[in-house]
Structure 1
Amino acid sequence: MNLPASFIDYTRALLGNEEYEKLAVALQQEPPVSIRLNEKLGALSQNAGAAHSSFFIHHSSLNKVLWASDGYYLDERLTFTFDPLFHAGCYYVQEASSMFVEQVLRQYVNAPVMMLDLCAAPGGKSTHARSVLPEGSLLVANEVIRNRSQVLAENLTKWGHPDVVVTNNDPADFSALSSFFDVILTDVPCSGEGMFRKDPVAVEEWSPENVEICWQRQRRIIADIWPCLKPGGILIYSTCTYNTKEDEENVRWIQEEFGAELLPLDVREEWNITGNLLNGEGEFLKSFPVYHFLPHKTKGEGFFLAALRKPEVEEEENVVFSFSKVKAAKKKDKKGGAVTSSPVSKENRTLAGSWLNSENAERYALLAEEKEVKAFPQQYMDELAAMKQYLKVVQAGVLIGEVKGKDLSPAHALAMNASLLRQDAFDTEEVSYEQAIAYLRKEAIALSETAPRGYVLLTYRNIPLGFVKNIGNRANNLYPQEWRIRSGYLPEEIRTF
């Protein structure tokens, strides 16, 4: 790797000769591979028997990511594309350093919250946040680039938590939602220095001029989204870069511009996290608690994080979002007849409800939109209406089923949501590895002659993989077309869980 000369000069001056040389050596090494296990596996394992338990036993010797409860390092990179458990949402491939976001949520979020992940694609931090947020929280995951928002929605669907909304908006689009969120994560676009050894393009595109563009763009993003944070709410600011213009100096700007309080985190010495690079380490946890992950010290890529709290009382009168206009609009629609009747029949709505377990049937509203039936948490219906009024909502809650002809066909998202799906709602059929790959390629599936007719939930190693409609001589594959494995070959060596 040929590092830009100006990057070398700046970073050497920032870290000192000895530390920079260690960093330079680390940047020439292979990056570690790390994953997070999905918490939904725990619930599934209670009913899956020994086959599922072996998933955990086999990997009990893996090295733990010390700052993440479900994070692990792998000894080698798996062939993730050809691992059915990856597509089933059993784990997420995420860079280890970025898992440090968990520490902010665990140390400062102790009750249900509305959280926004502003720059969320492809979904690593969103799936992680959704796993550690208190039960009853709602996560809004946003991505400004349309095609990336679709990838974000796919990854969150596979992760399988119902209390999620995906939006496709610029930060400025949130301006109407004043004091709306309790927590906002801003993993802002940056110069990408921390990703040099994983992404050669980041090296090629780096320049001092790009750093200047980045820190100014980052401030615009923060200025746009700051009014949406409730007084007393928490802003998590993070980048994957080392330079202080995008890191410490921007954090200092947030403090001075908005009166934010910088929050210290309890970190352990063995995590080898570096503090404030502007003034050396010293008493950084007390004076300026910010957190750098440097590859020659921590097992991971370059990462920076700071947590800030919005003042409870601001100098100017705080503007709080009013739901009155949203409720008035909904009432007007009902009276004015503007809302057309749904093609989803009463019988199909009842059928969709019967697919949910009794515990969640009361917590979630069933929404019929066009030909689809969705489940969304009752307690956030007003917030959803507000977001639909001002934002481009890609998906909200869980798609339960879709009307095809006269029948209601179960949606793939329902298969991925173990917490919502009633265990005995569908017959199941365990498939082999070869059958699982064929299913994920959207190919025709041949089931055994004893397989039940109708909608069947396929499982692989007792983990739900998705639905088919078994009509006897063949099973219609219901896996989402746009998610299919496009590769037509299998590698000579396949390494999976």
Structure 2
Amino acid sequence: MRNPPDIPTAFVQQMEHWLGSEARDLIAALSDKPWRGLRYAAVARPHGELPQSLAPFLGDGVPWAPDGFYLNPGPSLGYTVLHQAGSFYLQDPSAMAVAVALDPQPGERILDLCAAPGGKTTYAALLAARRGGAQLVANDIHRDRVLALAENVERVGAPCAITNESPDALAEAWPQAFDAIVVDAPCSGEGMFRKDPAVRKEWRPDAPERFQALQKDILRHALTMLKPGGRLVYSTCTLNPLENEQVVLWLLEHYPVELEPLPDWSEWRPARSDWAGNREEVRLAKRLWPHLGRGEGHFVARLRLCEPVADKPRRRSKTATPSTDKAWDGWLASLVTEVPPAWRRTSVRKTIVFADALGDLALPSLRVLRPGPPLAERKGQVFVPHHAASRLLPVGFFRATVEIDEEAAIRYLAGEALTAPGGLDLEAPFCAVAHEGFHLGFAKRAPGRLNNLYPRGLRSTRIESLAALAGAVASSS
């Protein structure tokens, strides 16, 4: 077989070993353009819909993700007002299946162990919000990646805690602590070959074996953090059975787990039992092959823990109690029409007030980037709303809100002040700024204008008009 440019010859040989003549179809598919997708993302409005202004860019719905759509050929939407507002998340269609497989239930405690950059965490938060909410902790061991995770979580308003720890440190701190855990494991990334040239360039023939060892190590620690009866979702974006079926086989042979059936997703195929000691139940896991489905390569398995793996449950630590700070309570009352209970249980770090999402999971030994979503910054005796708080509530829950058009929104995201409209609550010192029903951030009232509080580090002069992009797409078709 003549392999396409940049596809490693050793990878082609490995796929020929596993797939035989079918490998040529796979390799040919890896030369095609990748599938692009987006999904609804605003956690504060879990039952909302994508704005109609996105319609010109959307193709078919993603069959396995009710919130997802394929993107038509055209420009990137990452520098548009609605993306900055957190109304949608750009995500590979295949990756959307992981949160759907997790199937968050009301009131559960959930850990996303390898969470960056946040696509699966934010979708899990949205699905959980539709069912009344869950306690969600997102972790990533890499400092640079965990910062990207925090930015994406903040943008869509996911009210989760964020930690920056190794799996072994978390396992020591949180034995038998979670109802469900997602391990979207580090992998050789073969499913991303047609999307990311760097992944193709960095791939090595021994990558599947090396990553398999890392995946097993992560899973060992994950299982100790799972309650008996809890579920583990294991996923990768790679193709080699060493990192997929054979890891699941290892789990079945070494731990008290059983595979659970996944939904009957169109275009996904059963995992291959002949690559896993002919264990028929391995077929309950699923694969999306790039030559057989509209997505990048992905593997998903859901397992139930039948017996505890940790020796004993964790010790409960002290939880935050509702605030008795009259200044804080009074300030909240001036900001919102109804104070969410989570905003009264706070954790203060330096000058930032966070909603406490860790609860009794908090331990001084852990590296915690955020114990929950930031709510405010204290400047002397004055509180200023944190940008993240604007994404946590739907439009109408702040005492003062101004809805602006796209042109004004682009200026706001660049850092410009706004003209103050009439009819705002004169008692509210701060105002939420919204576009098409999604919050952009805050402004501070001043005579005749609204001073911009959009964070300086997020301001951009590169924001493009969605209407203009839609016009360009229409004229080119």
1:339 is aligned to: none
1:121 aligned to which of 85, 108, 116 = 116
Structure 1 residue 94, shift from structure 2 partner: 0.7
Q: Structure 1 residues 77 and 309, CA, compared in 2 at 3 Å: closer, same or farther?
A: farther
Mapped partners of 1:494, 1:132: distance in 2: 30
What are the residue-to-residue correspondences of 1:341-356 with 2, within 5 Å? 346-356=326-336
Quick check: 1:244–1:278 contact (8 Å CA) kept in 2?
Answer: no
1:2 is aligned to: 6
What are the residue-to-residue correspondences of 1:104-183 with 2, within 5 Å? 104-106=101-103, 109-133=104-128, 134-162=131-159, 164-174=160-170, 175-183=172-180
Q: Structure 1 residues 280 and 75, CA, compared in 2 at 3 Å: closer, same or farther?
A: same
1:32 is aligned to: 35
> What is the TM-score normalised by the length of structure 1?
0.83
Structure 1 residue 296, shift from structure 2 partner: 1.2
Mapped partners of 1:449, 1:272: distance in 2: 51
Q: Structure 1 residues 489 and 126, CA, compared in 2 at 3 Å: closer, same or farther?
A: closer
Mapped partners of 2:470, 2:176: distance in 1: 47
1:309 aligned to which of 304, 310, 325 = 304
Quick check: 1:90–1:159 contact (8 Å CA) kept in 2?
Answer: yes
3-state SS, counterpart of residue 156 of structure 1: helix
Q: Structure 1 residues 484 and 257, CA, compared in 2 at 3 Å: closer, same or farther?
A: farther
2:345 is aligned to: 365
> What is the TM-score normalised by the length of structure 2?
0.86
- In the alignment, structure 1 segments of 5+ residues that lack a partner are 47-51, 335-341
The one-letter code sitting in structure 2 at the alignment partner of 1:230 is K
Quick check: 2:420–2:448 contact (8 Å CA) kept in 1?
Answer: no
Structure 1 residue 400, shift from structure 2 partner: 2.1
Mapped partners of 1:87, 1:470: distance in 2: 23
2:419 is aligned to: 447
1:436 is aligned to: 409
Deviations 1:92-111 (A, max 9, x none): 011111111234233xx544
3-state SS, counterpart of residue 36 of structure 1: strand
What are the residue-to-residue correspondences of 1:94-493 with 2, within 5 Å? 94-106=91-103, 109-133=104-128, 134-162=131-159, 164-174=160-170, 175-268=172-265, 271-277=266-272, 279=274, 286=281, 288-312=283-307, 318-323=311-316, 326-327=317-318, 346-358=326-338, 360-361=340-341, 364-376=344-356, 381-383=359-361, 385=362, 388-418=363-393, 423=396, 425-441=398-414, 443-448=415-420, 450=422, 454-472=429-447, 475-485=450-460, 487=462
Quick check: 2:46–2:127 contact (8 Å CA) kept in 1?
Answer: no
Quick check: 1:444–1:474 contact (8 Å CA) kept in 2?
Answer: no
3-state SS, counterpart of residue 383 of structure 2: strand
Deviations 1:167-210 (A, max 9, x none): 11111111221101111111111111000011001100111122
2:15 aligned to which of 11, 14, 17 = 11
Mapped partners of 1:169, 1:486: distance in 2: 35
3-state SS, counterpart of residue 3 of structure 1: coil
Q: Which has the higher helix share?
A: 1
Mapped partners of 1:318, 1:78: distance in 2: 53
Deviations 1:293-335 (A, max 9, x none): 1111110000011111112356xx7311011xx34xx89xx9x
3-state SS, counterpart of residue 309 of structure 1: strand
Deviations 1:132-171 (A, max 9, x none): 2342411110111112212111111121133x11111111
3-state SS, counterpart of residue 194 of structure 2: coil
3-state SS, counterpart of residue 494 of structure 1: helix
The total of aligned residue pairs comes to 460
Mapped partners of 2:29, 2:242: distance in 1: 23
Mapped partners of 1:173, 1:72: distance in 2: 38
Mapped partners of 1:286, 1:225: distance in 2: 22
